[in-house]
Structure 1
């Protein structure tokens, strides 16, 4: 045997192994687990054509600017510290346009205009606006860490508007104007820029000159965003992708009847919107912008809201995109498979999810990847409440579990991956960081540092993976589900009465446009730009049920301004209903959760912590608590770690005096084969739902604020279990129950009743005449 005959097999075994099949040897390549991060950076068009001459600014809202200094540049600067890690970033064209306006100094929003106004010259109206809106930030991460900003915020909440308006001095307003703009500057720039660091060190006593310099710094940071993305694209570390021009939901542009695919009983708008010819217009404008800024053709398309349908695929392929991304719920509908998860939250059949699929069209094939919804949400909504290194380790633990699960499904005895698998993590790259301390800087560095040290996980761009491993699995085009990332449906944007009204207004404007064939993009760009803006997805997100915002009325107004712009540019009379609000934007009573929450459990109600929680008002015309109504409302919500409850009570309420001394929470699991037992209290009435049998029971002594957990056993028995439940009762009662204590799988439904008792004797229950229902995330 020669030297070469010995040496070559030894080298091969580092990346291959031999199959134990009889009579022959088979060399199989070992793969790492490939992971593709896709960050979605997006803001709708806040620019108002009706406000071009407004001294307060033509931009109705400041979010493109504020996220510009907090989220877009630092995200990739942190990544650049780890050059072996590759990722994908989506920059929506409507965001790029606004960033360029700000960097050139041609954009002005009302917040900026007030910041650049001498505090002596502020009018009473200006001061009211500043009081109402210059604390628009998550206080725990963007206000509380800064003494002066926190001091003013506490005065707002403790003293109230009237006191502040009478007592705040010119210096108070000047500092507030400064801190609203300083707090949004990402911490990474304090590390790199001594002038920014000096402002944070100064803390108070800011002058108009200081505020002018802060805004100049905003422009400088925003001006680096596009060039830095191009630099990292050209180096190969980033893949940049795009989205239809103003972020419209393409399946609904093609046909609003596509809303019925996921929800056949959906009530659609009176008028059917069916203008598929608008789809290539949005795609071409997006490609032109991308080509102009980044010097190459985009390969990937992030369809707005990850919304896809068979109808849009020919247009996407015709524009020569190579791949697009969507959500696991869309995949599940498309392949008629429900993705079950185990108790730890990991997918039970990963071989169906973690791979690209091929979609055939008459204009060529497309690849499509589907994100792991839960892993994406862990970064987006849950890890902000954890210590950064712990959160990073938890995320890596999930990736390692996916790899082990895939290895276990291999036919061979190999202990490494035989095939290339791709885990796609795709999420909003801006809003989640507001809830992380220091804007997620420590979490990202911990995560990237650990990923850099692991050989069995490799971060890639989507194109890198698809070009190296073209998709073999196929979804027949007609089988692709019509849906979005939200439950695989379009119900967030259509089907609600207010959303439907908005669509009818859009349809009327589009029909008017169709009557003017002479109005082309070249001859009448104003009309088309107004139409494109109105076709964006963001407006209906905030209308009707599902989401709420303190700026709901302004979103309503801006949407109608865009529609009025269509008529104005066409020389058509503007319909009177475009001057009337679509919705009543005052806060309503009961609601279901609209997002994840992470409250601090201390017994002091923090409305910002619970603003996305479900709410049930107590003390109606009927119900067990009507007479006393000591409990006024219940808030409830979740993240991926805990289930949260909050009971608001009358001021000065004391348990054992104004309330019974015990609260008992009992979980009812419908259609689940588990042991159940009756309520472990005396004098329980024989009425629903307290006469049901339950599987989990949490008892809380409201006086001592201690808790115990029990699980049902056979023979109507209850067995004690270890737990990590948090309880706090001060001005309100707050409770956190870890999902790990309940051992429920993700997507499982649970139904809860709360029973008040005195020393083990039933007194009353909540909610009134119903069970509190929610799904495990």
Structure 2
């Protein structure tokens, strides 16, 4: 029998508890942050409305319970956040502090896709970027603030609604001169859009086009609730909190409340569970099965560690043994079996982090090409002369369905329409919900429960939520609050719901994500504050004294230093170093380091990062320096690949000192003439020689030097590591190198 290639596309919609337990009576807004509302008008409704035009395409969507409850309150007009309060304030009555808050916070969006398309919004943004907050405070008129307040709320409205709602398009056509009544109407339109989100999802669930699934109540990392020592499964040397967190009895609460929010809203019981951050461990499986969930999902890294199998990919990113990943597995527990599917990490990341920077038609062609390659590879594995699939395989693609669209033109509308059009026309690919596939093709392969790896979709570990000193401190504070609650058996969920709501909110994953190293945002301090507010509410509800440390931030949020990359980047290479483009890049502070580079301080910092297409470097030089004068006229990049057998050669420059790491042997060399902005690429050959090779490297040097290097030019497999060093030279003569006594380390995605 011939089968199509089955594809399960799972979108994950999630926002943490922004509602403060300490701000219920606060007239400026009990919601500390506006992201449920802004994503509500940009990302949730349009995604399913676009899909509705292609009824043969079925998908799975996860709506986290904490998001559902907040959407309900916004839709009912019960929620207010500080951005709403400012928007509804007459611009003539804004205080100086309010104006500062507006200038600092009302441009928080990807400026290339959300701000730049609208001339008035772009004008205000450029004034702030080029002239600074002080200039804006001194020169902006009341109308400038009125227009900024309007555009901050307008630009988040998805383009699809401009097509369908003439009133919305009228505001975009107006462009400037917005009044308070305009802003009131815009926020009323926000409420109108948000009110449609949940009913539309239920409608499409009932027609069978959507499968809706849920998550634990406030999106906690269940394996860490069961035992914080689970962090050492993937990273044995991980530093853990001082107090071991072991409160597995909270897991059934999160699962039970998650199911109830779902069933109350959608009129049926959920079959699937999205474990928060796709985090799994053997300890949580009985709880999930006992809660009557039928299937869960996780990441290919978790599958690989569970099976002791390393997934090898070719240069285009396609798996060598696809049959291991593209199938469901069975987990056996005392309370029944669970099915588990594992996402294709690379394909999911391409949609989430890479395709937004590409032309939509080219991006969709690349995506379809990967699916075609998967089908061809599976057919080859059959070992027959058949030209079609003789087994039902399932490719799972699962990713964040909110944040990625901010990096796409028109919020992803052209991409999604082209993708759904191509998928609907392809007879060899069938989009299914996970339950549809499992009901027709139950899993036959078993993963022994004790063999299931403890990890998440981030590197197969829990390091994004535990192990850092600040994250560990937060776990200790949470543990202390949980132990205090345990001393009050009279405080049940029935007679003291406030204490349990506060505890479960504090157990959510998001606070730990933003603490310490690894991830940062413009609102780290607010996440810190809100976490401590939830913990203070635990003590308050128990009439216990509140620990002093809960009134102090967990860390200094103003500190900026060296850090590894925090996510994929896709900067525009123009030599101007747009800070938003490089927000998630790794950073090495050079000017503040010790040694020769500190003496000269000509290079202030080095930023680096990648996506699935390219890796990027940015060199920030001391303001005013010129190549060929104070600054060397050449920059040379050299890199090698540990544990990969390739030809290597020494640095082809004069006067290179015999010291590490400049006396290493390297495989690739990129030379850049800073005066002419020209470059040349070389690859090591036999007998320690170099030969030229073509490349599509892009460089630009103006306010800084930006470099884009395609992974494809290196001809190395995904997952390979590379080590990089930069050398400054004058006409081929070594001058200095950076970073000092170190190498930049990257991994090909």
TM-score, normalising length: structure 1? 0.96
Matched, 1:632 2:604: yes
Q: Does the 8 Å CA contact 2:669/2:683 hold for their aligned counterparts?
A: yes
Matched, 1:87 2:64: no
2:499 matched to which residue of 1? 527
1:405 matched to which residue of 2? 377
Matched, 1:294 2:266: yes
1:362/1:621 CA distance change after superposition, 3 Å: closer
- Superposition pairs for residues 48-197 of structure 1, below 5 Å? 48-197=20-169
1:24 matched to which residue of 2? none
Matched, 1:420 2:392: yes
1:588 matched to which residue of 2? 560
Q: Does the 8 Å CA contact 2:592/2:604 hold for their aligned counterparts?
A: no
Output the CA distance in 1 between the equivalents of 2:240 and 2:728: 43
2:474 matched to which residue of 1? 502
Match of 1:56, SS state, is coil
Output the CA distance in 2 between the equivalents of 1:305 and 1:506: 19
Q: Give 1:318's match in structure 2, choosing from 268, 276, 290.
A: 290
Which structure has the bigger radius of gyration?
1
Matched, 1:516 2:458: no
Output the CA distance in 1 between the equivalents of 2:362 and 2:559: 37
1:247 matched to which residue of 2? 219
**How far 1:689 moved relative to its partner?**
1.2
2:7 matched to which residue of 1? 35
- Superposition pairs for residues 547-696 of structure 1, below 5 Å? 547-620=519-592, 622-696=594-668
Output the CA distance in 2 between the equivalents of 1:624 and 1:688: 15
1:6 matched to which residue of 2? none
Q: Does the 8 Å CA contact 1:624/1:765 hold for their aligned counterparts?
A: no
Matched, 1:758 2:730: yes
1:278 matched to which residue of 2? 250
**How far 1:522 moved relative to its partner?**
1.1
1:231 matched to which residue of 2? 203
Output the CA distance in 1 between the equivalents of 2:672 and 2:96: 49
Q: Give 2:706's match in structure 1, choosing from 728, 734, 759.
A: 734
Match of 1:720, SS state, is strand
Match of 1:390, SS state, is helix
Output the CA distance in 1 between the equivalents of 2:218 and 2:606: 39
2:715 matched to which residue of 1? 743
Aligned residues: 749
Output the CA distance in 2 between the equivalents of 1:677 and 1:575: 60
Matched, 1:219 2:201: no
**How far 1:484 moved relative to its partner?**
0.8
Q: Does the 8 Å CA contact 2:15/2:66 hold for their aligned counterparts?
A: yes
Output the CA distance in 2 between the equivalents of 1:518 and 1:602: 63
Output the CA distance in 2 between the equivalents of 1:495 and 1:716: 43
Q: Give 1:542's match in structure 2, choosing from 514, 535, 550.
A: 514
1:260 matched to which residue of 2? 232
Match of 2:597, SS state, is coil
Output the CA distance in 1 between the equivalents of 2:559 and 2:382: 54
Output the CA distance in 1 between the equivalents of 2:549 and 2:660: 47
**The 10-residue stretch of structure 1 (671-680 or 475-484) with the greater mean CA deviation from structure 2:** 671-680
Match of 2:247, SS state, is coil
**The 10-residue stretch of structure 1 (36-45 or 624-633) with the greater mean CA deviation from structure 2:** 624-633
1:153/1:621 CA distance change after superposition, 3 Å: closer
**How far 1:621 moved relative to its partner?**
5.4
Output the CA distance in 1 between the equivalents of 2:594 and 2:14: 46
**How far 1:501 moved relative to its partner?**
0.9
Output the CA distance in 2 between the equivalents of 1:76 and 1:335: 36
Match of 2:404, SS state, is helix
**How far 1:682 moved relative to its partner?**
1.8
**How far 1:573 moved relative to its partner?**
1.4
**How far 1:620 moved relative to its partner?**
4.1
Output the CA distance in 2 between the equivalents of 1:192 and 1:718: 60
**How far 1:622 moved relative to its partner?**
3.1
1:553-605 per-position Cα deviation (integer Å, ceiling 9, x unaligned): 11001000001111111111111111111111113211110111110000002
1:435-478 per-position Cα deviation (integer Å, ceiling 9, x unaligned): 11100111111111111111111110000000000001110011
Q: Give 1:332's match in structure 2, choosing from 304, 311, 315.
A: 304
Output the CA distance in 2 between the equivalents of 1:577 and 1:621: 33
**How far 1:626 moved relative to its partner?**
2.6
**How far 1:623 moved relative to its partner?**
3.0
Output the CA distance in 2 between the equivalents of 1:689 and 1:135: 42
Q: Does the 8 Å CA contact 2:7/2:394 hold for their aligned counterparts?
A: yes
**How far 1:130 moved relative to its partner?**
0.4
**The 10-residue stretch of structure 1 (264-273 or 601-610) with the greater mean CA deviation from structure 2:** 264-273
1:111-134 per-position Cα deviation (integer Å, ceiling 9, x unaligned): 001101111111111111101101
Could you say what the CA RMSD is over the residues aligned between the two structures, in angstroms? 0.9
Q: Does the 8 Å CA contact 1:664/1:757 hold for their aligned counterparts?
A: yes
**The 10-residue stretch of structure 1 (380-389 or 257-266) with the greater mean CA deviation from structure 2:** 257-266
1:483-528 per-position Cα deviation (integer Å, ceiling 9, x unaligned): 1111111111111111111111111111111111111111111111
2:435 matched to which residue of 1? 463
1:351-404 per-position Cα deviation (integer Å, ceiling 9, x unaligned): 100000000111111000000111100010000100001000001111111111
Q: Give 2:463's match in structure 1, choosing from 491, 501, 513.
A: 491
1:166-186 per-position Cα deviation (integer Å, ceiling 9, x unaligned): 111110110000000000000
**How far 1:627 moved relative to its partner?**
2.5
2:677 matched to which residue of 1? 705
Output the CA distance in 2 between the equivalents of 1:423 and 1:521: 41
**How far 1:629 moved relative to its partner?**
1.7
Q: Does the 8 Å CA contact 1:35/1:422 hold for their aligned counterparts?
A: yes
Output the CA distance in 1 between the equivalents of 2:434 and 2:329: 12
- Structure 1: gaps of 5 or more residues: 1-28
Output the CA distance in 2 between the equivalents of 1:604 and 1:596: 19
TM-score, normalising length: structure 2? 0.99
1:644-702 per-position Cα deviation (integer Å, ceiling 9, x unaligned): 00000122222222322211111112221101111122222211111111111111111
Q: Does the 8 Å CA contact 1:623/1:769 hold for their aligned counterparts?
A: no
Output the CA distance in 1 between the equivalents of 2:215 and 2:593: 50
- Structure 2: gaps of 5 or more residues: none
1:23 matched to which residue of 2? none
Output the CA distance in 2 between the equivalents of 1:496 and 1:318: 33
Output the CA distance in 2 between the equivalents of 1:281 and 1:162: 50
